[in-house]
Amino acid sequence: MTSSYFSLREAVEQGRTTFTAAVEEFLSRIEEKNQRLNALLEVYAEEALYAAHYWDKQQLQGEKLPPLAGLVYVHKDNIAVANHRLSAASRILEGYVSPFDATAVERLRAAGAICIGRANCDEFAMGSSNENSAYGPVQHPTLEGHVPGGSSGGSAAAVAAGFCHVALGSDTGGSIRQPAAFCNLYGLKPTYGRVSRYGLIAYASSFDQIGPISATLEDLIATYEVIAGFDPRDATTTDLPVEPFKRELPPPQRWAFLVPEGLHPETLSAFEKLQNALCQAGFHITSIEFPYWDYLIPTYYILTTAEASSNLARYDGVRYGYRTQIASTMDQLYARSRSEGFGREVKRRILLGTFVLSAGYYEAYYTQAQKVRRLLYDYTESLLQEHEVIAMPTSATPPFKLGEKVKDPIQMYLSDLLTVYANLTGHPALQIPLGNYIGLQLMGPLFTENRLFAAGYVLASLPL
Ligand code: GLN
């Protein structure tokens, strides 16, 4: 049920169809399936049709179309689109309307892309199953009773269900890659600093990146190339130029495989098959004993909850969103608005983050975790001197059942083991679907997204 932008573009250029017909088809699928899936919280039908009509007219008049004219996408509910609601799937931002576009959205608009709706997600992007949304969970589009992954579960489900070509997600610890893996899609977490975070609701600012999810590598790359690049409104973006990807780029030869214990048998066998196929094809594969598995989850959760507790302090019932009805003092107004507005998981993380930053524990937790983060970065850089890419599963298991993990936060956190690594070190990571809802992710040196794309094409051509 997935469609590719470039095949549509070709068909439009040959006069076989129109952008309007494509948008109508997406809208009718949304109409048919969104109520059950709950992937989109809002649909911009009129605007999307209007834009499609505009590009059809340009095409008919023989105008040169911009690079993504007529590409249909959805934005995760934590990425701002001007004059549209934005809630991070939280009650606390109920009714909030963004006065501006995120930089990624502004660039997509300028490139001709059409935004068709706002995708459900975990509240403030905290979660791995999309069960933490104040607007209800998202259903897996094809595996009934299963989760689509999270926190960008609505984004991934929307692409897999054929509601759009591409979705924008955000990835703080795997929220693009894991739902993309669960829905048999491509997903990219760009290098930290490659895509502007301007207009992204902050969760953990030194980890967050916006990136694309799509059914084809071509659509993913084209979207990435539009949204990437320096932005004066985000001081952490780099001014390193974004080199356009070329299919002739030779793929990496030396691959380091990191495969932890305790993988689901299906994931493990998919990996063994993959390693064999790569060896047969002449690639140089090395299995690495990664020494830091036990440190990834604790370090990630100490640092991200610390940053979240600070970032989420701004939701106080005064400036925007939800305000309690019952408060007679200022302190009560803050406390009640926050107690009523935030969901359970978000509160848990604010408490944990406040704790690790508190005077008596700061050195023991926060400072220690910062040191481990540095250690991981140095280790990864040295590994990438010897090997061109690091490969590992994206998730240790295929999609799990709705309700299976949501009552046990530790089990849920452990499901992030393989994805948080790239956010801790800032390296780019590309999720590649292997079929059967199992994904491989590749990490490379900073700003080598193109190397990962070249590797992605190799995998697509292997007999798996
Ligand atoms: N599942 C992870 C978390 O809950 C990652 C979330 C994300 O990348 N936004 O923190």
CA of 170 relative to ligand 1 center, distance in Å: 9
Type of residue numbered 208: D
Closest residue by CA, ligand 1 atom 4:
127
Whole-Å CA distances, 223 to 185, 226, 435, 445:
15, 5, 23, 21
Whole-Å CA distances, 15 to 56, 59, 68, 118, 383:
10, 9, 17, 30, 50
Q: What is the pLDDT of residues 325-346, one digit of tens each?
A: 999 999 999 999 999 999 999 9
CA of 193 relative to ligand 1 center, distance in Å: 18
Average predicted confidence (pLDDT) for the chain: 96
Question: Is the confidence at residue 2, as pLDDT, over 60?
Answer: no
Closest C-alpha among 76, 45, 220, 202 to residue 138:
76
User: Looking at per-residue confidence, does 461 or 22 come out higher?
Assistant: 22
d(CA 102, CA 83): 12
Query: Could you give the percent of the chain with pLDDT greater than 90?
Result: 95
Which of 79, 120, 128, 352 best tests ligand 1's pocket when mutated (most atoms within 8 Å of CB)? 128
What stretch of H or E contains 461?
helix 449-461
CA of 430 relative to ligand 1 center, distance in Å: 16
CA of 347 relative to ligand 1 center, distance in Å: 15
CB 305 within 8 A of CB 173: no
d(CA 419, CA 64): 40
413 DSSP 8-state letter: H
d(CA 59, CA 92): 43
> Sorting pLDDT into bands at 50, 70 and 90, what band is 25?
very high
CA of 326 relative to ligand 1 center, distance in Å: 33
Q: What is the pLDDT of residues 417-433, one digit of tens each?
A: 999 999 999 999 999 99
Query: 3.30.465.10, 3.50.50.60, 3.90.1300.10, 2.40.30.30: which CATH number matches 5-227?
Result: 3.90.1300.10
Would you say the CB of residue 162 lies under 6 angstroms from ligand 1? no
Q: Which ligand 1 atom lies nearest to the CA of residue 172?
A: 8
Question: Is the confidence at residue 1, as pLDDT, over 50?
Answer: no
Would you say the CB of residue 131 lies under 6 angstroms from ligand 1? no
Q: What is the pLDDT of residues 372-387, one digit of tens each?
A: 999 999 999 999 999 9
Closest residue by CA, ligand 1 atom 5:
173
Would you say the CB of residue 127 lies under 6 angstroms from ligand 1? yes
Per the confidence metrics, is the pTM higher than 0.75?
Answer: yes
CB 168 within 8 A of CB 79: yes
What stretch of H or E contains 333?
helix 330-341
Closest residue by CA, ligand 1 atom 10:
126
Active-site annotation, residues: 76, 151, 175
Closest C-alpha among 278, 221, 229 to residue 254:
278
Would you say the CB of residue 171 lies under 6 angstroms from ligand 1? yes
Residue 133, preceding peptide bond in cis (omega within 30° of 0): no
- Counting every residue written for the chain, the total comes to 464
